[in-house]
Amino acid sequence: MSPLGIVSLYSILVCLLCAAAPVYAQDDGGDRILVAGFVPKVWPAVLCAVLYGLSGTLHWIHYFRTGRPRYMLTLTISMYAMVVGFVFRVIYSQGDNIYSVPWYALQALFILLAPCAFLATDYVILSRLSESLGDEIAKDCLFIRSSIIVKLFVWSDVITFFVQAAGSALTATDDMEHVGSIVAMVGLIFQIVSFAFFALLLFRFGWRARSHHPAIWNIGGGESGWRILGPFKVSPFYDWRVLWSFMCFTTILISMRCVFRIIEYEQGYRGYLILHEGYFYILDSLPLWVSMTLYAVLWPTRLQPVSSTEPSSMPYAMRPINDEGKAHIQSSRSVV
């Protein structure tokens, strides 16, 4: 199990145990207070649970139909983790649960931290994509080795995961809510700095491939973008630039979410953005859902970077470029 998976499992077990304890937030006079500062609406949480559930189900369908690539489990599991988070949000909004510290912390933990696995998905895809195009491309177009991309950024996320988890837990206590907001904001800042570094790596990869390796850049160039897109398609596709473009779009949406979270926590535990949950759904839940649902339309492991548009017998795993693709590259270079 990955470090992020171990941390997630441990946090879930702790929160489930805490949820069984009737711990309520109280003011100085002993009166119970709303932990979140407002009563969450039920219908947006239900809608998000349904949307994430549908997209997550499509991911699982792709997963089982394309050879069960283990590195895509971060996406499939985390989508359902978001569903669980919104279900807990609905439970938290019912009855006396709105005063319950454990129920508030439980839904906040899932919704705030599950997206860490979304980031890990992009890390894995970039590593696999660069290696599938050959060692020469990976070494020239990336400024770090492709083999350490996942380790470097996942461990960075593990650290920020702990920081955000600590901040999220502290915000649930009345006397430490301000400190918790600061701690969570620090974790989010570290996360967006790390992700910005990854985004730079991703954009540079495409730019270097286009400017320094035109033959590689044009592999599968005659393939129609609309033909390869579809929520139930499992046939291979060959134009890796489409997948790279999707990844760039997901990084923009995820970055927007991170910026929103930083501003939200900077305003404090009773700030305007936190107390108006519409912003949370528009600037957090929706961008994350769109960014990860794109991979249901274009499942990454369908990629086979060769020149032909005829189906091949290669298994689904973003395999390295085959002899046909290499021959196409050599012929393109000779023409140039």
In this structure, is residue 73 part of a structural domain? yes
* Minimum mean pLDDT range among 117-131, 223-237, 277-291, 302-316: 302-316
According to the model, what pLDDT value does residue 147 have? 85
- pLDDT recorded at residue 314: 38
Confidence of residue 202 (pLDDT cuts 50, 70, 90): very high
Q: Domain residues for 286? A: 3-21+33-335
3-state secondary structure 25-68: CECCCCCECCCCCCCCCHHHHHHHHHHHHHHHHHHHHHHHHCCC
Burial code (b: 16+ CB inside 10 Å, e: under 16) for 96-133 equals ebbbbbbbbbbbbbbbbbbbbbbbbbbbbbbbbbbbbb
CATH code of the domain covering residue 174: 1.20.1070
Within a domain: 26? no
Number of domains composing the chain: 1
Residue 276 lies in a domain: yes
Q: Is the pTM of this model over 0.85?
A: no
Average pLDDT over residues 1-30: 52
Per-residue pLDDT, averaged over 285-307, amounts to 88
The answer to the question of residue 28 being in a domain is no
Any idea what DSSP says for residue 269?
A: T
Q: Tens digit of pLDDT for each residue in 308-328? A: 344 444 334 455 444 444 454
Cα–Cα distance measured from residue 136 to residue 94, given in angstroms and rounded to the nearest whole number: 57
Torsion of CA 88, 92, 94, 98, to 10 degrees: 180
The amino acid at 197? F
- Whether residue 61 lies inside any domain: the answer is yes
Section 239-264 average pLDDT: 91
